[in-house]
Structure 1
Amino acid sequence: MQKSNTKAGPAKFATRPAPSVQEPSAQQKSFDAAMQSFHMRDFAKAKQQFEAALEGPVKEIGYAAKQHLLMCQQRLARNTMKLDTAEDLYNYGISQMNKRDLEGAQASFEKALKHDDADYVHYALALVMGLRHDIAGAAAHLKRAIEIAPKNRVAAHNDPDFAELMQHSPIRELLLNSQ
Protein backbone atom coordinates (compact mmCIF):
# COMPACT_ATOMS: atom_id res chain seq x y z
CA MET A 1 0.00 0.00 0.00
CA GLN A 2 1.19 3.38 -0.81
CA LYS A 3 1.16 6.18 1.65
CA SER A 4 -0.16 9.47 0.54
CA ASN A 5 2.34 12.28 0.87
CA THR A 6 -0.32 14.94 1.06
CA LYS A 7 -1.09 16.42 4.40
CA ALA A 8 -4.62 17.23 5.21
CA GLY A 9 -4.91 20.97 5.58
CA PRO A 10 -7.77 22.90 7.05
CA ALA A 11 -11.06 22.04 5.48
CA LYS A 12 -12.16 24.54 2.91
CA PHE A 13 -15.78 25.51 2.84
CA ALA A 14 -17.47 26.64 -0.24
CA THR A 15 -18.31 30.30 0.14
CA ARG A 16 -21.68 31.49 -0.92
CA PRO A 17 -22.06 34.79 -2.61
CA ALA A 18 -23.51 37.47 -0.32
CA PRO A 19 -27.22 37.86 -0.81
CA SER A 20 -27.95 40.79 -3.01
CA VAL A 21 -29.71 43.61 -1.23
CA GLN A 22 -32.47 44.75 -3.47
CA GLU A 23 -33.34 48.39 -3.68
CA PRO A 24 -36.91 49.08 -2.64
CA SER A 25 -39.21 49.30 -5.58
CA ALA A 26 -40.79 52.57 -6.64
CA GLN A 27 -44.05 51.21 -5.25
CA GLN A 28 -42.44 50.54 -1.86
CA LYS A 29 -40.78 53.97 -1.82
CA SER A 30 -44.12 55.66 -2.57
CA PHE A 31 -45.81 53.67 0.18
CA ASP A 32 -43.07 54.47 2.73
CA ALA A 33 -43.23 58.19 1.89
CA ALA A 34 -47.03 58.07 2.13
CA MET A 35 -46.88 56.45 5.56
CA GLN A 36 -44.50 59.14 6.75
CA SER A 37 -46.86 61.87 5.49
CA PHE A 38 -49.81 60.02 7.03
CA HIS A 39 -48.15 59.92 10.44
CA MET A 40 -47.31 63.62 10.12
CA ARG A 41 -51.06 64.16 9.54
CA ASP A 42 -50.45 65.64 6.07
CA PHE A 43 -53.37 63.71 4.60
CA ALA A 44 -53.48 65.56 1.27
CA LYS A 45 -49.85 64.69 0.52
CA ALA A 46 -50.28 61.14 1.83
CA LYS A 47 -53.32 60.68 -0.41
CA GLN A 48 -51.27 61.49 -3.52
CA GLN A 49 -48.45 59.20 -2.41
CA PHE A 50 -50.81 56.31 -1.62
CA GLU A 51 -52.36 56.73 -5.07
CA ALA A 52 -48.87 56.32 -6.56
CA ALA A 53 -48.30 53.24 -4.38
CA LEU A 54 -51.43 51.59 -5.80
CA GLU A 55 -49.54 51.08 -9.05
CA GLY A 56 -46.99 48.33 -8.84
CA PRO A 57 -46.42 44.60 -8.87
CA VAL A 58 -46.73 43.89 -5.13
CA LYS A 59 -50.39 43.27 -4.37
CA GLU A 60 -49.92 43.52 -0.59
CA ILE A 61 -48.52 47.04 -0.89
CA GLY A 62 -51.35 47.98 -3.23
CA TYR A 63 -53.94 46.66 -0.77
CA ALA A 64 -52.38 48.51 2.17
CA ALA A 65 -52.15 51.68 0.06
CA LYS A 66 -55.83 51.39 -0.83
CA GLN A 67 -56.84 51.03 2.84
CA HIS A 68 -54.75 54.02 3.88
CA LEU A 69 -56.02 56.02 0.91
CA LEU A 70 -59.57 55.54 2.20
CA MET A 71 -58.51 56.74 5.65
CA CYS A 72 -56.92 59.85 4.11
CA GLN A 73 -60.08 60.61 2.16
CA GLN A 74 -62.18 60.28 5.32
CA ARG A 75 -59.92 62.57 7.31
CA LEU A 76 -59.78 65.14 4.52
CA ALA A 77 -63.59 65.12 4.23
CA ARG A 78 -63.86 65.66 7.98
CA ASN A 79 -61.46 68.61 7.83
CA THR A 80 -63.36 70.48 5.14
CA MET A 81 -66.02 72.06 7.31
CA LYS A 82 -67.72 75.28 6.42
CA LEU A 83 -67.17 78.10 8.84
CA ASP A 84 -69.55 80.78 7.62
CA THR A 85 -70.58 82.67 10.72
CA ALA A 86 -68.76 84.47 13.51
CA GLU A 87 -70.05 81.88 15.96
CA ASP A 88 -68.75 78.98 13.82
CA LEU A 89 -65.34 80.63 13.58
CA TYR A 90 -65.35 81.42 17.30
CA ASN A 91 -66.21 77.83 18.26
CA TYR A 92 -63.55 76.50 15.90
CA GLY A 93 -61.05 78.96 17.38
CA ILE A 94 -61.87 77.73 20.89
CA SER A 95 -61.23 74.13 19.81
CA GLN A 96 -57.90 75.18 18.30
CA MET A 97 -56.98 77.06 21.45
CA ASN A 98 -57.80 73.99 23.56
CA LYS A 99 -55.43 71.97 21.36
CA ARG A 100 -52.84 74.73 21.89
CA ASP A 101 -52.85 75.69 18.21
CA LEU A 102 -52.64 79.33 19.22
CA GLU A 103 -51.75 80.62 15.77
CA GLY A 104 -54.74 78.86 14.22
CA ALA A 105 -57.02 80.04 17.03
CA GLN A 106 -55.94 83.62 16.54
CA ALA A 107 -56.61 83.40 12.80
CA SER A 108 -60.10 81.98 13.46
CA PHE A 109 -60.96 84.72 15.96
CA GLU A 110 -59.71 87.43 13.61
CA LYS A 111 -61.91 86.02 10.82
CA ALA A 112 -64.85 85.91 13.24
CA LEU A 113 -64.38 89.62 13.97
CA LYS A 114 -64.77 90.38 10.27
CA HIS A 115 -68.30 88.94 10.55
CA ASP A 116 -69.26 90.37 13.94
CA ASP A 117 -67.62 92.76 16.42
CA ALA A 118 -68.70 90.50 19.30
CA ASP A 119 -67.39 90.95 22.83
CA TYR A 120 -66.84 87.22 23.37
CA VAL A 121 -64.63 87.06 20.26
CA HIS A 122 -62.52 90.00 21.48
CA TYR A 123 -62.29 88.33 24.89
CA ALA A 124 -61.05 85.06 23.40
CA LEU A 125 -58.69 86.87 21.05
CA ALA A 126 -57.25 88.80 24.01
CA LEU A 127 -56.55 85.53 25.78
CA VAL A 128 -54.93 83.81 22.81
CA MET A 129 -52.80 86.87 22.02
CA GLY A 130 -51.68 86.99 25.64
CA LEU A 131 -50.74 83.33 25.50
CA ARG A 132 -48.72 84.16 22.38
CA HIS A 133 -46.93 86.92 24.37
CA ASP A 134 -48.50 89.77 22.39
CA ILE A 135 -49.47 91.75 25.47
CA ALA A 136 -50.27 94.97 23.59
CA GLY A 137 -52.61 93.08 21.24
CA ALA A 138 -54.17 91.23 24.16
CA ALA A 139 -54.78 94.49 26.02
CA ALA A 140 -56.35 96.12 22.95
CA HIS A 141 -58.82 93.26 22.45
CA LEU A 142 -59.60 92.97 26.14
CA LYS A 143 -60.28 96.72 26.22
CA ARG A 144 -62.68 96.34 23.27
CA ALA A 145 -64.41 93.36 24.93
CA ILE A 146 -64.93 95.48 28.07
CA GLU A 147 -66.20 98.45 26.01
CA ILE A 148 -68.82 96.25 24.34
CA ALA A 149 -69.81 94.42 27.53
CA PRO A 150 -68.47 95.79 30.82
CA LYS A 151 -69.14 92.44 32.54
CA ASN A 152 -66.02 91.16 30.75
CA ARG A 153 -63.82 93.12 33.20
CA VAL A 154 -65.09 91.04 36.13
CA ALA A 155 -65.11 87.86 34.07
CA ALA A 156 -61.45 88.30 33.02
CA HIS A 157 -60.43 89.31 36.54
CA ASN A 158 -61.88 86.04 37.88
CA ASP A 159 -60.82 83.90 34.91
CA PRO A 160 -57.89 81.61 35.81
CA ASP A 161 -56.77 81.78 32.17
CA PHE A 162 -56.10 85.50 32.62
CA ALA A 163 -54.25 85.09 35.94
CA GLU A 164 -50.83 84.86 34.32
CA LEU A 165 -51.61 87.79 32.02
CA MET A 166 -52.43 90.00 35.00
CA GLN A 167 -48.69 90.15 35.71
CA HIS A 168 -48.43 92.54 32.77
CA SER A 169 -49.34 96.13 33.58
CA PRO A 170 -51.56 96.84 30.51
CA ILE A 171 -53.80 93.88 31.39
CA ARG A 172 -53.69 94.54 35.13
CA GLU A 173 -54.66 98.19 34.65
CA LEU A 174 -57.65 97.22 32.49
CA LEU A 175 -58.90 94.70 35.01
CA LEU A 176 -58.30 96.63 38.21
CA ASN A 177 -59.46 100.09 37.07
CA SER A 178 -63.12 101.09 37.35
CA GLN A 179 -64.26 98.20 39.44
Structure 2
Amino acid sequence: MQEAKAAAASRKKLEAVSKAQAHANAAAYQQYQSAVQLVQQAKYDKAITALEKLLPSAPPELVERCRMYIATCRRQIATTSLEFDTPEERYDYAIAQLNQGFYEEAREQLMAVAGDVPQADYVFYGLAVLDSITGRSQDSLSHLSRAIELNPRNRLQARSDGDFQNMVDDPRFTELLYPEIP
Protein backbone atom coordinates (compact mmCIF):
# COMPACT_ATOMS: atom_id res chain seq x y z
CA MET A 1 0.00 0.00 0.00
CA GLN A 2 2.80 2.38 0.94
CA GLU A 3 4.56 1.58 -2.33
CA ALA A 4 1.42 2.37 -4.37
CA LYS A 5 1.05 5.72 -2.62
CA ALA A 6 4.72 6.49 -3.22
CA ALA A 7 4.42 5.52 -6.89
CA ALA A 8 1.32 7.70 -7.30
CA ALA A 9 3.05 10.63 -5.60
CA SER A 10 6.08 10.12 -7.81
CA ARG A 11 3.88 10.11 -10.96
CA LYS A 12 2.16 13.31 -9.85
CA LYS A 13 5.52 14.92 -9.22
CA LEU A 14 6.76 13.88 -12.68
CA GLU A 15 3.57 15.19 -14.29
CA ALA A 16 3.97 18.51 -12.49
CA VAL A 17 7.61 18.76 -13.58
CA SER A 18 6.64 17.82 -17.14
CA LYS A 19 3.89 20.48 -17.23
CA ALA A 20 6.27 23.08 -15.82
CA GLN A 21 8.89 22.13 -18.45
CA ALA A 22 6.29 22.32 -21.24
CA HIS A 23 5.22 25.76 -20.00
CA ALA A 24 8.85 26.93 -19.84
CA ASN A 25 9.50 25.62 -23.37
CA ALA A 26 6.40 27.39 -24.70
CA ALA A 27 7.58 30.63 -23.12
CA ALA A 28 11.07 30.14 -24.57
CA TYR A 29 9.66 29.58 -28.06
CA GLN A 30 7.58 32.74 -27.72
CA GLN A 31 10.66 34.73 -26.66
CA TYR A 32 12.57 33.20 -29.56
CA GLN A 33 9.85 34.25 -32.04
CA SER A 34 9.94 37.80 -30.69
CA ALA A 35 13.73 37.90 -31.05
CA VAL A 36 13.56 36.62 -34.63
CA GLN A 37 11.06 39.36 -35.44
CA LEU A 38 13.55 41.90 -34.11
CA VAL A 39 16.18 40.46 -36.45
CA GLN A 40 13.77 40.70 -39.38
CA GLN A 41 13.06 44.33 -38.45
CA ALA A 42 16.84 45.02 -38.44
CA LYS A 43 16.77 45.85 -34.71
CA TYR A 44 19.98 43.94 -34.20
CA ASP A 45 21.01 45.34 -30.80
CA LYS A 46 17.63 44.51 -29.28
CA ALA A 47 17.65 41.08 -30.91
CA ILE A 48 21.09 40.28 -29.47
CA THR A 49 19.91 41.27 -26.00
CA ALA A 50 16.76 39.14 -26.28
CA LEU A 51 18.63 36.13 -27.65
CA GLU A 52 21.40 36.31 -25.05
CA LYS A 53 18.77 36.52 -22.30
CA LEU A 54 17.06 33.44 -23.74
CA LEU A 55 20.22 31.31 -24.12
CA PRO A 56 20.60 30.05 -20.51
CA SER A 57 17.05 28.71 -20.34
CA ALA A 58 16.48 27.80 -23.99
CA PRO A 59 15.58 24.23 -24.91
CA PRO A 60 18.51 22.42 -26.55
CA GLU A 61 16.95 22.65 -30.01
CA LEU A 62 16.91 26.47 -29.80
CA VAL A 63 20.40 27.04 -28.42
CA GLU A 64 22.24 26.73 -31.74
CA ARG A 65 19.62 28.81 -33.55
CA CYS A 66 20.01 31.56 -30.95
CA ARG A 67 23.78 31.54 -31.37
CA MET A 68 23.42 31.69 -35.15
CA TYR A 69 21.10 34.69 -34.95
CA ILE A 70 23.42 36.42 -32.47
CA ALA A 71 26.32 35.96 -34.90
CA THR A 72 24.17 37.21 -37.78
CA CYS A 73 23.16 40.31 -35.82
CA ARG A 74 26.76 41.07 -34.89
CA ARG A 75 27.82 40.68 -38.51
CA GLN A 76 25.02 43.00 -39.64
CA ILE A 77 26.03 45.62 -37.08
CA ALA A 78 29.64 45.37 -38.26
CA THR A 79 28.79 45.63 -41.97
CA THR A 80 26.69 48.74 -41.52
CA SER A 81 29.77 50.51 -40.24
CA LEU A 82 32.00 49.47 -43.15
CA GLU A 83 33.60 52.21 -45.18
CA PHE A 84 35.41 51.75 -48.46
CA ASP A 85 38.01 54.07 -49.95
CA THR A 86 37.49 52.87 -53.52
CA PRO A 87 34.86 51.02 -55.55
CA GLU A 88 37.41 48.25 -56.02
CA GLU A 89 37.61 47.72 -52.25
CA ARG A 90 33.84 47.48 -52.07
CA TYR A 91 33.87 45.03 -55.01
CA ASP A 92 36.49 42.86 -53.29
CA TYR A 93 34.39 42.84 -50.13
CA ALA A 94 31.29 41.90 -52.17
CA ILE A 95 33.10 38.97 -53.79
CA ALA A 96 34.31 37.79 -50.37
CA GLN A 97 30.69 37.88 -49.16
CA LEU A 98 29.59 35.98 -52.25
CA ASN A 99 32.24 33.31 -51.68
CA GLN A 100 31.11 32.93 -48.06
CA GLY A 101 27.48 32.52 -49.08
CA PHE A 102 26.24 35.90 -47.83
CA TYR A 103 24.38 36.54 -51.06
CA GLU A 104 22.18 39.46 -50.04
CA GLU A 105 25.13 41.40 -48.63
CA ALA A 106 27.11 40.63 -51.80
CA ARG A 107 24.21 41.82 -53.98
CA GLU A 108 23.84 45.03 -51.99
CA GLN A 109 27.54 45.85 -52.30
CA LEU A 110 27.75 44.94 -56.00
CA MET A 111 24.71 47.07 -56.79
CA ALA A 112 26.30 49.99 -54.95
CA VAL A 113 29.50 49.64 -57.01
CA ALA A 114 27.44 49.38 -60.22
CA GLY A 115 25.76 52.64 -59.26
CA ASP A 116 29.10 54.32 -58.59
CA VAL A 117 30.93 52.90 -61.61
CA PRO A 118 28.37 51.99 -64.30
CA GLN A 119 31.10 51.13 -66.83
CA ALA A 120 32.79 48.51 -64.61
CA ASP A 121 32.32 45.28 -66.56
CA TYR A 122 33.67 43.17 -63.70
CA VAL A 123 30.82 44.33 -61.44
CA PHE A 124 28.19 43.18 -63.92
CA TYR A 125 30.05 39.90 -64.34
CA GLY A 126 30.02 39.48 -60.54
CA LEU A 127 26.28 40.20 -60.47
CA ALA A 128 25.75 37.64 -63.25
CA VAL A 129 27.62 35.02 -61.22
CA LEU A 130 25.65 35.87 -58.10
CA ASP A 131 22.36 35.68 -59.98
CA SER A 132 23.32 32.34 -61.49
CA ILE A 133 24.22 30.89 -58.10
CA THR A 134 20.99 32.14 -56.54
CA GLY A 135 18.78 30.87 -59.37
CA ARG A 136 17.87 34.23 -60.87
CA SER A 137 18.48 33.22 -64.48
CA GLN A 138 16.89 36.22 -66.20
CA ASP A 139 18.89 38.66 -64.05
CA SER A 140 22.02 36.59 -64.65
CA LEU A 141 21.54 36.80 -68.40
CA SER A 142 20.93 40.57 -68.25
CA HIS A 143 24.01 41.23 -66.13
CA LEU A 144 26.19 38.91 -68.19
CA SER A 145 24.99 40.57 -71.38
CA ARG A 146 25.96 43.96 -69.95
CA ALA A 147 29.37 42.63 -68.84
CA ILE A 148 30.01 41.28 -72.35
CA GLU A 149 28.84 44.54 -73.92
CA LEU A 150 31.35 46.46 -71.77
CA ASN A 151 34.15 43.93 -72.28
CA PRO A 152 33.78 41.16 -74.90
CA ARG A 153 36.46 39.07 -73.15
CA ASN A 154 33.85 38.30 -70.49
CA ARG A 155 32.17 36.02 -73.05
CA LEU A 156 35.26 33.79 -73.15
CA GLN A 157 35.61 33.81 -69.38
CA ALA A 158 31.96 32.84 -68.87
CA ARG A 159 32.31 29.86 -71.21
CA SER A 160 34.61 28.11 -68.74
CA ASP A 161 33.31 29.59 -65.47
CA GLY A 162 31.86 26.86 -63.23
CA ASP A 163 29.75 29.43 -61.42
CA PHE A 164 27.42 29.42 -64.41
CA GLN A 165 26.70 25.70 -64.04
CA ASN A 166 23.02 26.48 -63.36
CA MET A 167 22.76 28.22 -66.71
CA VAL A 168 24.32 25.71 -69.11
CA ASP A 169 20.99 24.15 -70.13
CA ASP A 170 19.39 27.53 -70.83
CA PRO A 171 19.40 28.17 -74.62
CA ARG A 172 19.53 31.94 -73.98
CA PHE A 173 22.80 31.42 -72.10
CA THR A 174 24.26 29.36 -74.94
CA GLU A 175 23.11 31.97 -77.45
CA LEU A 176 24.78 34.74 -75.43
CA LEU A 177 28.10 32.87 -75.12
CA TYR A 178 28.20 31.44 -78.64
CA PRO A 179 26.50 34.01 -80.89
CA GLU A 180 28.47 32.87 -83.94
CA ILE A 181 26.89 29.40 -83.98
CA PRO A 182 23.76 29.42 -86.21
TM-score computed with the length of structure 1 as normaliser? 0.58
Which secondary structure does the structure 2 equivalent of 1:80 belong to? helix
CA distance in 2, matches of 1:79, 1:92: 16
Matches within 5 A, 1:29-178: 33=31, 44=45, 45-51=47-53, 76=74, 79-81=77-79, 82-84=82-84, 85-117=86-118, 118-177=120-179
Q: Does structure 2 retain, via aligned residues, the 8 Å contact 1:136–1:170?
A: no
Deviation string, structure 1 residues 21-43 (Cα, Å, up to 9, x no partner)? 384798xx67x957xx69xx997
Name 1:13's counterpart in structure 2. 2
Q: Does structure 2 retain, via aligned residues, the 8 Å contact 1:123–1:141?
A: yes
Equivalenced residue count is: 148
CA distance in 2, matches of 1:114, 1:122: 11
CA distance in 1, matches of 2:159, 2:90: 25
CA distance in 1, matches of 2:75, 2:171: 45
Q: Does structure 2 retain, via aligned residues, the 8 Å contact 1:96–1:102?
A: yes
Aligned identity (percent) is: 23
Cα RMSD for the two superposed structures: 4.2
Deviation string, structure 1 residues 37-83 (Cα, Å, up to 9, x no partner)? 69xx99742423435x7xxxxxx98xxxxxx99xx59x727851304
Measure how far apart 1:161 and its partner are: 1.9
Q: Which amino acid aligns with 2:112?
A: K
- Structure 2 residue runs without a partner (length 5+): 58-65
Which secondary structure does the structure 2 equivalent of 1:167 belong to? coil
CA distance in 1, matches of 2:111, 2:75: 25
- Structure 1 residue runs without a partner (length 5+): 1-11, 54-59, 62-67
Name 2:61's counterpart in structure 1. none
More helix by percentage: 2
Looking at CA atoms only, which structure, 1 or 2, has the larger radius of gyration?
1
Measure how far apart 1:123 and its partner are: 0.2
CA distance in 2, matches of 1:175, 1:83: 36
CA distance in 2, matches of 1:127, 1:77: 23
Q: Which amino acid aligns with 1:147?
A: E
Q: Does structure 1 retain, via aligned residues, the 8 Å contact 2:141–2:173?
A: yes
Q: Which amino acid aligns with 1:116?
A: V
Using a 3 Å threshold, how does the CA distance of structure 1 residues 159 and 136 change in structure 2: closer, same or farther? same
CA distance in 2, matches of 1:145, 1:83: 26
